[in-house]
Chain A
Amino acid sequence: MSDTQSDNYEIGTFRVKRGLADMLRGGVIMDVVNAEEAKIAEDAGATAVMALERVPSDIRRDGGVARMSDPVMIEDIQKTVTIPVMAKARIGHFAEAQILQSLGVDYVDESEVLTPADEAHHIDKWAFTVPFVCGATNLGEALRRISEGACMIRSKGEAGTGNIVEAVRHLRSILGDIRKITQADAAELFQWAKTLQAPLGLVQEIAETGKLPVPMFCAGGIATPADASLVMQLGAEAVFVGSGIFKSEDPAPRARAIVEATTHFRDAAAVANASRGLGEAMPGLEISALEVKLAERGW
């Protein structure tokens, strides 16, 4: 053939899997429970949607076992929007993840928001072509997930509360430890690996690069444009918004406002502008009053 041709075609490589996470940087990923909400999210400028049966605040209220969504609902959403569609599997539930991969979802979230299926093991994510995102409350947890094959980390926060305090705690913990590791000498890195219960190789990589080997986004408690600006300034590379949009008084303008605030997160005047007249945010919950802390799920 001609002087242009190609060779060595490969799917599901780590570069291809984390590549989509790279493309989502600077954007907003929104939880949606049906095609109609997915459309509102896409119209508002979401870079992706997370399809799930109930948003975290409803899961929290209803209790019981929270599972992967009905494939019909996921397919409905895939047909409705052109942006990537993610979906959640239970921690350790590799069969749910296999189903989601067969449906062609673009990212699987092995999520503490659903009821864990395995109390010792997370999914072996290297075994999949579909990329995974996992939550983390600290650097050790993040590195264990990456060593299992996660291509994107999101700080967990406390989903369904509309309270940003846990997201801030987790972001500061992860990024603070990364900063400390870059100051450590070679001998101290062995101690860091032990303390974090994380692979030495990943700790050494962080010492060299000063960042996680995959993009880090923020989730759990974002309810306002100001919340989005706060976590982006703290070092998150994109945000997940769960109950914060569709449990607020007027979802469409709030979704749009959070997109604007995430894009212009350093520009206070732009964030102020986005914050005007949005109506009531979702009702918030005090962390100390919670019966179940979702962030504690994961090992």
Chain B
Amino acid sequence: MLSSLGTKSVAVRTPDDLAGIDAIILPGGESTTISMLLESSEIFGSLNQMIGEGLPVLGTCAGMILLANEVSDGRRDQKSFEAIDISVRRNSFGRQIASFESDLKVKGLEESFRAVFIRAPGVEKVGDSVEILATVDSDEQTGVPVLCRSGPILVSSFHPELTADSRIHQIFLSLIK
């Protein structure tokens, strides 16, 4: 996806991999596992400092959870970068059988975006500093924010990396100075 947009990417597995990056993507996965591995790989501290100093971050699904100021239904020992003033609930739309896809109207995009939600987190509260770029209506909830931005931090409940559509990644790249 990134190389098709003319951007070079590296996989970050150790603190050394953080050297020289202009932005970072925290992808989907299990936030409990990722949080634990960020600590054991000794990445958390340095990355936390870089985010504090304004490193642009795209967090999708688990990545959104890791960036949120407040997390409910998580594990107590789960770490967060607390980089965006939102409260999220893990698995807010239910288990895998309730996972879904939907067309989203995204602020700034002409055509709708087909978004894939996998055991997705839901945003329950947003602070004044946060701009809501898209919301979703599910069977049980309406108008749930699913794409939010605060400064150089962009978070989504869904997985733009699971579709061929690169427009969310383009929005993110436009946030990098």
**A, B in one complex:** yes
Decide if B116 touches A42 in the complex (CB within 8 Å): no
Whether, in the assembled complex, A195 has its beta carbon less than 8 Å from a beta carbon of chain B, the answer is no
Tell me the smallest distance from the CB of A232 to a CB of chain B, in Å: 13
Interface: B128 (CB within 8 A): no
In the complex, A15→B116 CA distance in Å?
Answer: 8
Interface of B is mostly: loop
Given A15-B116, A27-B30, A45-B33, A6 and B137 touching (CB < 8 A)? yes
Whether the Cβ atoms of A8 and B97 lie closer than 8 Å is no
Taking the closest CB of chain B, its distance from the CB of A23, in whole angstroms, is 5
Chain B residues near A263: list those with CB within 8 A. 13, 37, 41
Inter-chain contacts of A105 with B (CB < 8 A):
95-96
Chain B residues lying within 8 Å of A42, measured Cβ to Cβ, are: 32, 75
For residues 10 through 38 of chain A, which have their beta carbon under 8 Å from a beta carbon of chain B?
10-13, 15-17, 19-20, 22-24, 26-27
> Which residues on A sit within 8 Å (CB–CB) of B116?
15-16, 19
The A interface, classified by DSSP as helix, strand, loop or mixed, is: loop
Q: Is B95 a contact partner of A106 (Cβ separation < 8 A)?
A: yes
Q: Which residues of A contact B98 (CB under 8 A)?
A: 11
Flag if B139 contacts A3 (CB, 8 Å).
no
- Judge whether A69 is part of the interface by a CB distance below 8 angstroms: no
Which chain B residues lie closer than 8 Å to A107 at the CB level? 96
A275: B residues at CB distance < 8 A: none
Inter-chain CA distance A130–B62, complex, in Å, is: 21
State in angstroms the CA–CA spacing of A5 and B146 once bound together.
10
Residues in A neighbouring B36, C-beta threshold 8 A: 45, 259
Smallest CB separation, B93 vs chain A (Å): 10
**Given known A12-B97, A20-B99, A106-B95, contact A259–B33 (CB-CB < 8 A):** yes
Residues of B100-157 whose CB lies within 8 A of A: 100-107, 112, 115-119, 132-139, 143
Known: A16-B118, A45-B32. A8 touches B102 (CB 8 A): yes
Whether the pair B33, A82 counts as a contact (CB closer than 8 A) is no
Give the interface of B toward A (CB within 8 A): 13-14, 28-30, 32-33, 36-37, 40-41, 61-62, 73-75, 90-91, 94-107, 112, 115-119, 132-139, 143, 159, 162-163
Q: Considering the complex of A and B, which 8 residue pairs feature the smallest CB-CB distances, nearest first?
A: A106-B96, A19-B118, A4-B135, A6-B136, A104-B95, A7-B103, A47-B30, A11-B100
